[in-house]
């Protein structure tokens, strides 16, 4: 085919059919956070929170020389993931499980509590123990964040496996 020659009718029809097939496939995909209810929604939130924690750990392993730490986020995400998985979390437990120094964890907890994102509950029997929980607003916002994050990755996570050429055909510099 000559470069300046227009495409044939058959080539245009083939392209149109392919575009329509892709449009049908995209229209049939559910939006991750909007169509889930009950246990499936809860499982998605837990999976995303756990994945976010794993990505942060991997990032720290791959870039040990780069100070990428976000202590407030680390503490909030860790508390959210533990609560979502059904664990009751004490300040000491969070401190022991964290890769942050204990004073930094305590500082972050104090900041998050003063911002109203988490609540502190002294233990009824042991005055040295402080239990942590997300506030209603904190839990609601973290859950919304996880569900909206699912929408960001949803189309790619559910992309058909038979279309690797689409990924390789991106312009240079595109992710």
The C-alpha atoms of residue 55 and residue 71 are separated, in whole angstroms, by 15
Instruction: Tell me the backbone φ, ψ of residue 31, rounded to 5 degrees.
Output: -80, 125
The answer to whether 77 and 49 have CB atoms below 8 angstroms apart is yes
**Span 33-153 CATH architecture:** Orthogonal Bundle (1.10)
Q: Which two tokens stand for residue 111?
A: 């900041």
The answer to whether 49 and 146 have CB atoms below 8 angstroms apart is yes
Domain edges within the chain: 33-153
Q: Which pTM was predicted?
A: 0.65
Task: Look at residue 159 in the predicted model and tell me its pLDDT.
Answer: 42
Task: Look at residue 155 in the predicted model and tell me its pLDDT.
Answer: 54
Task: Look at residue 15 in the predicted model and tell me its pLDDT.
Answer: 72
Task: Look at residue 3 in the predicted model and tell me its pLDDT.
Answer: 64
Written as tens digits, the pLDDT of the chain (175 aa) is 556 777 777 777 777 777 776 666 666 555 544 566 677 778 888 888 888 888 888 888 888 888 887 899 999 999 999 998 889 999 999 999 888 899 999 999 999 999 999 999 999 999 899 999 999 999 999 988 888 887 776 655 544 444 444 444 444 444 4
Task: Look at residue 170 in the predicted model and tell me its pLDDT.
Answer: 44
Task: Look at residue 167 in the predicted model and tell me its pLDDT.
Answer: 42
The C-alpha atoms of residue 22 and residue 28 are separated, in whole angstroms, by 10
- Nearest Cα to Cα of residue 124 among 174, 90, 154: 90
């Amino acid at each position: 085919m000559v470069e300046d020659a227009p495409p044939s009718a058959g080539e245009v029809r083939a392209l149109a059919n392919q575009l329509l097939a892709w449009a049908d496939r995209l229209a049939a995909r559910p939006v991750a956070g909007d169509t889930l209810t009950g246990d499936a929604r809860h499982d998605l939130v837990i999976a995303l929170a756990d994945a976010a924690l794993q990505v942060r750990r991997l990032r720290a392993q791959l870039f040990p020389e780069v100070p990428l730490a976000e202590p407030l986020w680390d503490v909030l995400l860790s508390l959210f993931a533990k609560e979502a998985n059904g664990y009751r979390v004490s300040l000491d437990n969070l401190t022991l499980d964290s890769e942050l120094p204990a004073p930094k964890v305590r500082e972050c907890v104090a900041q998050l509590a003063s911002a109203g994102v988490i609540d502190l509950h002294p233990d009824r029997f042991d005055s040295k123990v402080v239990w942590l929980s997300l506030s209603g607003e904190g839990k609601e916002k973290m859950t919304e964040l996880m569900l909206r994050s699912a929408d960001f990755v949803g189309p790619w996570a559910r992309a058909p496996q038979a279309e690797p050429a689409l990924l390789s055909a991106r312009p240079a510099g595109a992710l």
